[in-house]
Amino acid sequence: MTVLIKGGTVVNADRSFRADILCENGLVSAIQETIEASKNVTVVDAGGQYVMPGGIDPHTHMQLPFMGTVTSEDFETGTAAGLAGGTTMIIDFVIPGPQQDVMEAYHQWREWAEKSVSDYSFHVAITWWDDTVNKAMGTLVNEYGVNSFKHFMAYKGAIMADDEILVSSFTRAIELGAIVTVHAENGDLVFRLQQKLFEQGLTGPEGHPLSRPPQCEGEAANRAIRIAEVLGVPLYVVHNSCRQSLEAITRARNEGQRVFGEVLAGHLLVDDSVYRDEDFEVAAAHVMSPPFRSKEHQEALWHGLQSGNLQTTATDHCCFCADQKAAGKDDFRLIPNGTAGIENRMEVLWHHGVGTGRLTMNEFVAVTSTNAAQIFNVYPRKGSIAVGSDADIVVWDPEATKTISAKTHHQKIDYNIFEGMTVKGCASHTLSQGKVLFANGKLDVERGAGRHINRPAFAPYYDALQRQALQAEPTPVRR
C-alpha cells in the first residue's frame, strides 16, 4: 500500500513544519512541501491537522496471568485499542513465575503476542536468580533483541526481587549493555502494612493506598538508584506516582547519573478520592500499584514532565473486569491490580498538557513517542517522521472532541478510569507500517500483522563506562 498524507503540519520532537508525506513499503519514502498524488495512491487529507510519530506505550501488560486470573485484554484487542488512540507500538513485559525458566516464559509471551495488530517488543522481568538466569539474559540480549530487564521491588512472596537479585541482575545487565527498569515500592513494608490494616478490620479498597504510601515508593526508588549508581548501570523507573520518587530521580540526574523516569497518564489525572467511593466496583476498578495519589503529587508529576526529569508517559495497561476485581470483595489484598488506558493516553495528555499550555506540541511528541524510542534504542526507526523511518504515523485533529466512556471505547474492559472526561484533540487517522488502520472512528486491522521489534544493546555506553572506570583507577600510594 502507498499512502500520501497531504496538507498537514509535521510535528516531531525537535521541530514542526508544513509538508506532505509519502509512505511506501511500510516506510516514509519522501517528505516534501508538495507531493502530487499518482495513481493507486491512498490519499489522507490532513488539512488543518498535525502529523506526528505514532505513540509508543513503553509499559503494557496484555494477556498477563496475575493474582489468580488473566487480564481481559489480549495482544490483538489491546494493540487495536492502541491504534484507535494513536499508539502504534507497545513494549510489554515477559514475567517469569518464581523459579520458572526465563527462556520458557519468553517464548510463551512471544507466542501470545503473535496475534498483535501493530508492532510490539518486550522487557523481561528478573524474578529470581541463578546461573541459568544469568545465561538467559545473555541469550535474550544477543539473540532476541531484548535490551531491558524489569525488577519488581514489590509483591513479596511472588515476583519480588530483593537487593541480592537487583545487584546480580544489574551487574549482568551492564556487562551486556542493557538498561534495567524497576517497579519501585518497598515490598516488605507494603506486606507488613497490608497485614496490619487487614487485622484492624480495614478490608475495602480504601486500604489499598493506605498500605502503599508515597514513602514506600520513594524509598525503593532511591535504593534502586543508589544500587545502579554503584554498579554504573543506566536505570529506568517505571510508573512514578509521587513526589518522593520524582525527587529521588531529580537528585540523581542533577548528580549526573543516567536515570530515566516514566509517568502514567492516570497518575497525572486521577486522584486518590476514587478509593473512597461507596460503590465497591468503582473503587476496586481503580486498584493498581502504585495507587493513585493526592492532588499535590499530580502537580509535582506534571512539573517533572515539564522539566524533563520524567521523560516518558505510559499506561501500565493491565485490564481486569468487575467480576475479576470481585475476588477482593472482602479483602483488598486480593483485588487484582490494574487499570486500562492505552486508547486514551494520547488524548488526555494532549487535552490536559498541550491544551492547558503545560506542554508544547513538540514536547507532547517527545513524551508520548520519541523519548521512549531513544531510551529503548529503536530511534529513529520509531519515534520520528523522517525518510527511512517506519511509517507509524498519527494524524491528529486538534479540533475534534469526544467524551471518553467504557460504552464506546475499544478496550476490552468494562470500566474506564477517565469515564465522562471530555477531551479536545484526537486521532483522525492512524497508520502502522504505512497502512491506514484507523480512520474517522473505524478500525480496519489484521490479526497477526504486528511485528516483534528487536532493540539492540547499548554496548557503546558500556564501553564508555569501562573507559571511565579505568581512568578513575587510583594511583598507588608509595610509602
Could you write out the DSSP letters of every residue in 185-244?
Answer: --HHHHHHHHHHHHHTT--STTHHHHTS-HHHHHHHHHHHHHHHHHHT--EEE----SHH
Q: Which of 273, 288, 384 is nearest to 332 (CA)?
A: 288
Buried b (16+ CB within 10 A) or exposed e, 392-426: bbbbbbeebebebebeebbbbbbbbbbeebebebb
Number of domains in the chain: 1
pLDDT of the residue at 471: 54
The Cα 261–Cα 310 span in angstroms is 4
Cell 499508539 found at: 87
CATH of the domain at 241: 3.20.20.140
Q: Which amino acid is at 347?
A: E
- Which residues touch 107 (CB under 8 Å, ≥6 apart)? none
pLDDT of the residue at 158: 95
| pLDDT of 381 above 80 | yes
Confirm if 120 and 93 have CB atoms less than 8 A apart: no
pLDDT of the residue at 1: 85
The mean per-residue pLDDT over the stretch 247-253 comes to: 98
pLDDT of the residue at 460: 47
The Cα 442–Cα 120 span in angstroms is 22
Q: Which of 256, 210, 234, 209 is nearest to 374 (CA)?
A: 234
The mean per-residue pLDDT over the stretch 237-253 comes to: 98
Q: Which of 53, 39, 38 is nearest to 8 (CA)?
A: 53
pLDDT tens-place string over residues 416-425: 999 999 999 9
pLDDT of the residue at 218: 98
- Which residues touch 113 (CB under 8 Å, ≥6 apart)? 62, 75, 92, 120, 122, 450, 452
Q: Which amino acid is at 471?
A: Q
For the record, the C-alpha cell of 285 comes out as 476498578
322: burial class by Cβ within 10 Å (0-12, 13-18, 19+)? middle
- For residue 75, CA distances in Å to 5, 147, 167 come to 28, 21, 32
For the record, the C-alpha cell of 76 comes out as 490483538
| pLDDT of 470 above 80 | no
pLDDT tens-place string over residues 33-61: 999 998 899 999 999 999 999 999 999 99
State the pLDDT confidence band at 461, using cuts at 50, 70 and 90.
very low
DSSP line for 371-424: HHHHHTT-TTTSS---TTSB--EEEEEEEEEEE--TTT--SSSS--TTTT-EEE
Tell me the residue ranges of DSSP E strands in 87-217.
87-94, 119-125, 148-152, 179-183
Which phi and psi (to 5°) does residue 248 adopt?
Answer: -65, -40
Q: How many CB atoms lie within 10 A of CB 315?
A: 26
Q: Which of 378, 392, 471, 460 is nearest to 432 (CA)?
A: 392
For the record, the C-alpha cell of 109 comes out as 509471551
Q: Which of 155, 156, 158, 147 is nearest to 180 (CA)?
A: 147
pLDDT of the residue at 479: 40
pLDDT of the residue at 462: 47
The Cα 126–Cα 43 span in angstroms is 46
For the record, the C-alpha cell of 470 comes out as 579505568
pLDDT tens-place string over residues 116-143: 999 999 999 999 999 999 999 999 999 9
The mean per-residue pLDDT over the stretch 446-453 comes to: 98
The mean per-residue pLDDT over the stretch 307-314 comes to: 98
Domain of residue 199 covers: 1-479
pLDDT of the residue at 478: 44
Q: Which of 136, 182, 132 is nearest to 162 (CA)?
A: 182
Q: What is the largest CA-CA distance in the chain?
A: 84
Element housing 347 (H / E) = helix 345-349
pLDDT above 90 coverage of the chain, percent? 95
Q: Mean pLDDT score of the chain, rounded to an integer?
A: 95
| pLDDT of 111 above 70 | yes
pLDDT tens-place string over residues 193-234: 999 999 999 999 999 999 999 999 999 999 999 999 999 999
pLDDT tens-place string over residues 91-106: 999 999 999 999 999 9
The Cα 291–Cα 266 span in angstroms is 10
